[in-house]
Amino acid sequence: MNVVNPATGERIATYEEAGDEAVERTLADAERAFESWRERPLAEREELLASAAEVLRENEREYAELMRREMGKPIAQAESEVEKCAWVCDHYAEHAHAYLEDDHHPSPPGTAVKTVHEPLGVVLAVMPWNFPFWQVFRFLAPSLTAGNVGVLKHASNVPGCAEAIEDILLEAGYPEGVFQSLLVPSDRVDDIIADERVRAATLTGSGPAGRAVASAASEHLKKTVLELGGSDPFVVLDDADLAAAAETGAWARNLNGGQSCIAAKRFVVHTDIYDDFLDRFVAEVESLAVGDPTDEATEVGPQASADLLATLHEQVAASVEAGATVRTGGEPMDREGAFYPPTVLTDVPEGCPADTEELFGPVAAVYEVDVEGAGVERANDTEFGLGASVWTEDRDRGERLARRIDAGCVYINQLTKSDPRVPFGGVKESGYGRELSEAGMKEFVNRKTVWIE
């Protein structure tokens, strides 16, 4: 696996892929570790997770630099990602006992009936490059604390991040085998899922990748959780605070170089304030600092690879050819590295890539609608259903619209985000299952009924 710095195009490291022997050894070690790990008192597992949070905070800059080098994340955003990983560790270290406590049920006199929550075993985690630490920690913090063990198949462009995460847990005191990184290409995933020692799988990634994992797992009746793509609407109503909506919207679209499943991608704006919002939004987008991800002031870094940039520009060019108007940006930047400028498209015709596909980069499509109902219709006019954002000064109105939008989460007067305290996941082509909160912790447990006569 060759790692290329997307800001410079230079190869910075090479990692050897795991062969058959390494895969066998990893799965054998995971199975062996599970037998003792599942018996470890929950309080001890919580303490180890709290220790992992300490390791993350003590080495925040080191891990942030690793993300910057491998996938181009601006250094300030990379440091924030490490801190968020420490937060999810803190959260489950504090709340795992409450989340996993027995559920008691009505029963006949003299009996006791309850549901206990027991770990499933070895869980395969197939994770993406865009948030290379956070995506992994939001899986491992609840799943390992529930008593499972994890095997990570990370994206091929962030192998250093994968190995660093394994080292973090070992430094925190986790037993060997409880969490392991396995550097294998995607074509090895089906065989790993089929292995009888693997009991479940989770994936964050594209629709095709999710279907492949779901198909392989279903063949062997194994549990899966899928967090897939998104084309999140950002609905701006006629009574919205336009300054706040434009400022937050620009950030919601361009955070992490626009490379986020829950980024605001389709801006649905009421006709009465459309022109005003568009002027403010374009100005906010153009004010974002694009540049070297080592610079603390940089807000938008490179795309994660030259290939990803090329795909993004093909989608923009096809949309423009179909009739879309470029308000700002729209061409790769004339500089070293995979840089694409924050871009705004309007007059987006039905059926073009900007209308129907997920644009995984800093490109916003803006639509004008004349009534509230049309805004909901436009928001739902997508195969995806991950998140949404609604902007209005009337909180009751915002909640009414939120209930009509087909998505796993809707934020009113806030950008869409994942938070350890609330369930996260999508509907439709955005996947199924939930991560985070109590719901996420119980995805990979056996809810066992125990009847005591």
Alpha helices of 105-181 — where are they, by DSSP H?
134-145, 159-172
Half-sphere exposure of 163 (CA within 13 A, CB side): 14
Could you confirm whether 261 is annotated as catalytic? yes
Pairing of strands 363-369, 264-270: parallel
CA distance 349 to 346: 9
Q: What is the pLDDT of residue 371?
A: 87
Instruction: With beta carbons less than 8 A apart as the criterion, state whether 315 and 362 touch.
Output: no
Taking residue 109's Cβ as centre, other Cβ atoms within 10 Å add up to 4
> Model's pTM, two decimal places?
0.97
- In angstroms, the Cα distances linking 358 to 217, 259, 285, 382 are 25, 10, 19, 10
Residue 403 burial (C-beta neighbours within 10 Å; 0-12, 13-18, 19+) = exposed
Identity at 24, one-letter amino acid code: E
Residues near 150 by beta carbon (within 8 Å), at least 6 away in sequence: 30, 122, 123, 124, 125, 139, 140, 143, 144, 178, 179, 180
Catalytic, out of 89, 261, 352, 409: 261
Q: Which residues contact 74 (CB under 8 A, 6 or more apart)?
A: 68, 293, 295, 298, 299, 300, 301
Catalytic residue selected from 31, 46, 79, 227 = 227
Amino acid identity of residue 313, one-letter, is H
Handedness of CA 329, 332, 333, 334 (dihedral sign): negative
Tokens for 112, please give them. 């006791």
- Contact present, 233 and 388 (Cβ < 8 Å): yes
Instruction: Give me the residues paired with residue 364 across strands.
Output: 344
DSSP 9: T
- Rounded CA-CA distance 287/247 in Å is 10
Domains and CATH numbers, the chain: 2-228+428-452 (3.40.605.10), 232-412 (3.40.309.10)
CA 412, 417, 418, 419 dihedral sign is negative
Q: Which of 45, 122, 128, 131 is nearest to 89 (CA)?
A: 45
Task: Kindly give the confidence (pLDDT) of every residue in the chain, 453 residues in length, as a single tens digit, with 9 standing for 90 and above.
Answer: 999 999 999 999 999 999 999 999 999 999 999 999 999 999 999 999 999 999 999 999 999 999 999 999 999 999 999 999 999 999 999 999 999 999 999 999 999 999 999 999 999 999 999 999 999 999 999 999 999 999 999 999 999 999 999 999 999 999 999 999 999 999 999 999 999 999 999 999 999 999 999 999 999 999 999 999 999 999 999 999 999 999 999 999 999 999 999 999 999 999 999 999 999 999 999 999 999 999 999 999 999 999 999 999 999 999 999 999 999 999 999 999 999 999 999 999 999 999 999 999 999 999 999 988 899 999 999 999 999 999 999 999 999 999 999 999 999 999 999 999 999 999 999 999 999 999 999 999 999 999 999
Whose tokens are 């499972």? That residue is 148
What pLDDT shows up at residue 9?
96
Residues 337/370, Cβ–Cβ less than 8 Å: no
